[in-house]
Amino acid sequence: MFKRVCSPINISLFGLFAILALTYYFGLRTSHQRLQQQADIDAQKLSQYINSELSRFQHIPHLLTSHYLIRQSLSSAEGLERLNPLLLDITKTSGANDVYVMDNLGTVVAASNYGTPQSFIGGNYAFRDYFQQALAGNKAVDYALGLRTGERGIYFSAPITINQQVKGVVTVKVSIAKFEQDSDLLAGDSNTRFLVYGDDNVVFLSNYKNWRLKQLGKSKLISWHKISASQRYLGLEQTLLRNQQFNHPLLDTPMWRIQQTQQALGDYFYQQASIPMLDLTLLVLLPDGHLIYEQLSNMALAGLLYLLSLGLVYYLSQRIIGYNKLIYTRNSLERQVALRSAELANAQDALIRTAKLATIGQLAASINHEINQPLSAMSTYLVSTQRMLNRGMEQAAKDNLQIMASLITRIHKIVSQLKEFSKPQGQGQIITSLQESITNALIIVGPQINSQGVQLSVKNPNVKIHAEPLKFEQVLVNLLSNGVDAMTEVEHKHLTITCESDEKKVWLRIQDTGNGLDLQTIDTIFEPFYTTKSEYGLGLGLAISRSIIHSFDGELTAENSATGGAIFTIELNRVIE
C-alpha cells in the first residue's frame, strides 16, 4: 500500500499540484505588489500634474488686477469696449475657459464670453465663496458647478484694490474637463481610474463618468443640507456610491470595492494623494479583474515547465551523454557567451556615445550663444588687420592682433567651462572692476556698434562689484548686442551705459533708442527659448543672462523708457575698498 502511495506517478502529481499552488500564491503576491506600486506612481504623477496646473492659473487673477483697463472699468464705463476683447485674448493665451470682472456687489461688468449666449455680463455671483473671500481682500481658489453652463469648474479670484479699498474682483474659470482629459494621458494603465473629492465626500473630478457628482457615503463633517445651501452644486440631488475598504483574504492587501454601475461592484488597488490648494483628496484605483487570467497563464506555464523538467530528467536517466558531446556543448556555450558579451559591450559603448552626444547637444545650445559674439568680432578685426597690412600700418595691425588674441583667450575660457559642466560649484566670485568688464565687453561688441552707426555713451562705471568676470562679461556682451539689434530699423541710434550706486548696491543700466519691448510679452522675455529673432535666435541669451546675475545674488530686469526704447537694469552688490 505504501509503495502505491509513493509511486513515481503519485509523487509527480503531488509535485505538480505543489508547483501550481506556489505559482498562484507568489504570482498573485507579485502582481499585487506591482499594482500597488503602479497605483502609488500614478497617484504621484496625477497629483503633481493637477497641483502644477492649479499653481499656473493661481497667479493670473492677481496679475490682472494691476491692468489699467480692468481698474478703469470699475471707475467708469469708458474702457469696457476694449476690456472685453482683452479678457478674451487673455483667456485664449492662458488656456482658461473664462475670465471676468465683477464690481464689489458681485455683478459682472466685463467677461471674455461677452459675445456668446452664455455671457456672464450682468450676472451676479455675490453668493460664491470665491467672491466673498476676494471681497475680504484675499486671493481665493474654489470649485463649483457653473450657474449658467452647469459645467464643473475651478475658479481663481483676486481683489481689485483701489485707494486701499476693494472695488471689484477678477475671476479666472478653468473647466474641470481639461484635467480629466489630460490626466488620462498620464495614467500608467489604460484601465486606471481616479476620483477627487473633498470634505463633503462628493466626487468632483473623475475620469469615470458614473462616479462624477456622487457622494462616497455621507460626510461626517458636512450635512447634505449645508452642502445644498452652499449652492456649490446648485440643485444636485444626493446620490450615494456604494463602496468599502477591505483586505484581500489571501494576502492581506488593502483594496477598495466601489460601485461601477447600478448593479455591479468592482475591486481596486488604490493609493491616495492630496490637492492642497483645493483641500481635496485624489484617489487612484487600479482594477484587479485581469489578475486571475494572469495567474492562470503563469500556472499553465509553470505546469508546462514542470512536465518538461520531468521529461528531461527521465530522458537523462535513460541515456548517458558522451564526454565529447559535453566538451563540444561547453565550448559552444563559451563561444556564445563571448559573442554575446562582445555584443553587449558594443551596445554599452553605443549608449555611452549617445549619452555624450545628447549632453554635448544640450550644452552646445548654451555655449553657442556665448561663442558667436567673440567669433563675429574676430572676423571684423581680421578683415581690418588685412587692410592695415596692405597699407603698411604695422603698429595698428599689431594692436588688432593683440585684441584678437584676447578674444581667442576668451573663447578658450568659455569652452573650458564644458569640462566643468558636471561640477556643482562655479569659478568663484571675486572683486571685479565694472569699468574693466565694460571695456572687455565693448572689445567684442565694438565692431557691431561701429558697423551699425550707433552712438555710444558710458557714464560713471568706476565701481567694484562681486562677480565672476568672464560670466559677467558674457551678460554685458549679450545685452549690448541685443541693444544694437533693437535699433536696426530706427534712424536715431544711441546706446547709453549708465552706472548708479549707493553704499550697498550698484545699478548698471543699458538703454537703447529702439522700438521698445512689447508690453504683452515683457514678462516672458527672460524665459528659455523665447525670442523675437525668429530666423536665427535660440531664445537662450536673456534666460542665461538672468541666471548668471542671480548666481551673483543680483537681479536683471527690463522695462520701456518713457522717451522710447528699452532699458535693461543689472542690480549687484557693491564692494567698498
Per-residue pLDDT band for 479 (boundaries 50, 70, 90) equals very high
Q: In the predicted model, what is the mean pLDDT of residues 201-218?
A: 90
Q: Are 436 and 418 part of one and the same domain?
A: no
Number of domains in the chain: 3
Q: Which residue range(s) make up the domain with 531? A: 430-575
What is the domain-level CATH number for residue 504? Answer: 3.30.565.10
* Per-residue confidence (pLDDT) for residue 345, from 0 to 100: 59
* Per-residue confidence (pLDDT) for residue 368, from 0 to 100: 66
Instruction: Give a yes or no: residue 42 inside a domain.
Output: no
Cell 556555450, residue? Answer: 333
* Per-residue confidence (pLDDT) for residue 90, from 0 to 100: 92
Q: Are 528 and 404 part of one and the same domain?
A: no
Please spell the DSSP secondary structure of 445-499, one letter per residue. Answer: HHHHHHHTT-EEEEE----EEEE-HHHHHHHHHHHHHHHHHHTTT-SS-EEEEEE
Of 322 and 217, the one with more pLDDT: 217
* Per-residue confidence (pLDDT) for residue 451, from 0 to 100: 85
Question: What percent of the chain has pLDDT above 90?
Answer: 26
CB 472, CB 479: distance < 8 Å: no
pTM of the model: 0.49
* Per-residue confidence (pLDDT) for residue 421, from 0 to 100: 39
Beta-strand pair 108-111/98-103? antiparallel
Per-residue pLDDT band for 158 (boundaries 50, 70, 90) equals very high
* Per-residue confidence (pLDDT) for residue 531, from 0 to 100: 63
* Per-residue confidence (pLDDT) for residue 4, from 0 to 100: 57
Of 391 and 1, the one with more pLDDT: 391
Mean of all residue pLDDT scores within the chain: 82
Of 257 and 20, the one with more pLDDT: 257
* Per-residue confidence (pLDDT) for residue 354, from 0 to 100: 47
Q: Which of 177, 201, 227 corresponds to the end of one domain?
A: 177
* Per-residue confidence (pLDDT) for residue 127, from 0 to 100: 92
Instruction: Give a yes or no: residue 8 inside a domain.
Output: no
Per-residue pLDDT band for 360 (boundaries 50, 70, 90) equals very low
Q: Are 459 and 566 part of one and the same domain?
A: yes
* Per-residue confidence (pLDDT) for residue 282, from 0 to 100: 92
Listed in sequence order, the residues at least 6 apart from 158 whose beta carbon sits closer than 8 Å to its beta carbon are 61, 62, 64, 65, 134, 139, 140, 169, 170
Provide the grid cell at 1. 500500500
Of 189 and 31, the one with more pLDDT: 31
Q: Are 481 and 385 part of one and the same domain?
A: no
Q: In the predicted model, what is the mean pLDDT of residues 153-181?
A: 90
Q: Which of 177, 212, 247 corresponds to the end of one domain?
A: 177
Q: Are 394 and 517 part of one and the same domain?
A: no
Lowest mean pLDDT among 111-120, 158-167, 266-275, 341-350: 341-350
Instruction: Give a yes or no: residue 520 inside a domain.
Output: yes
pLDDT at 193 over 80: yes
**Which strands make up the sheet holding 254-259, listed edge to edge?**
203-206, 193-197, 280-287, 265-275, 254-259, 243-247
Instruction: Give a yes or no: residue 335 inside a domain.
Output: yes
Per-residue pLDDT band for 6 (boundaries 50, 70, 90) equals low
Lowest mean pLDDT among 261-265, 415-419, 521-525: 415-419
Instruction: Give a yes or no: residue 443 inside a domain.
Output: yes
Max mean pLDDT range (34-43, 139-148, 366-375): 139-148
Q: Are 111 and 138 part of one and the same domain?
A: yes
Of 546 and 181, the one with more pLDDT: 546
Q: Which of 424, 456, 478 corresponds to the end of one domain?
A: 424
Q: Are 407 and 473 part of one and the same domain?
A: no
Q: Are 378 and 442 part of one and the same domain?
A: no
Cell 568676470, residue? Answer: 469
* Per-residue confidence (pLDDT) for residue 314, from 0 to 100: 76
Q: Mind listing the pLDDT tens digit for each residue in 54-66?
A: 888 888 999 999 8
Cell 464670453, residue? Answer: 113
What is the domain-level CATH number for residue 124? Answer: 3.30.450.20
Backbone phi, psi, residue 113, to 5°: -100, 35
Q: Mind listing the pLDDT tens digit for each residue in 7-53?
A: 777 787 777 778 877 777 777 677 777 777 888 888 888 888 888 88
Of 369 and 274, the one with more pLDDT: 274
Instruction: Give a yes or no: residue 373 inside a domain.
Output: yes
Q: Are 525 and 437 part of one and the same domain?
A: yes
Q: Mind listing the pLDDT tens digit for each residue in 311-331?
A: 888 788 777 777 777 788 888
Listed in sequence order, the residues at least 6 apart from 547 whose beta carbon sits closer than 8 Å to its beta carbon are none
Q: In the predicted model, what is the mean pLDDT of residues 511-532?
A: 77
Q: Are 435 and 504 part of one and the same domain?
A: yes
Q: Are 541 and 466 part of one and the same domain?
A: yes
| C-alpha to C-alpha distances, 191 to 40, 72, 134, 184, 284, nearest whole angstrom | 15, 51, 40, 10, 11
pLDDT at 550 over 70: yes
Q: Are 446 and 401 part of one and the same domain?
A: no
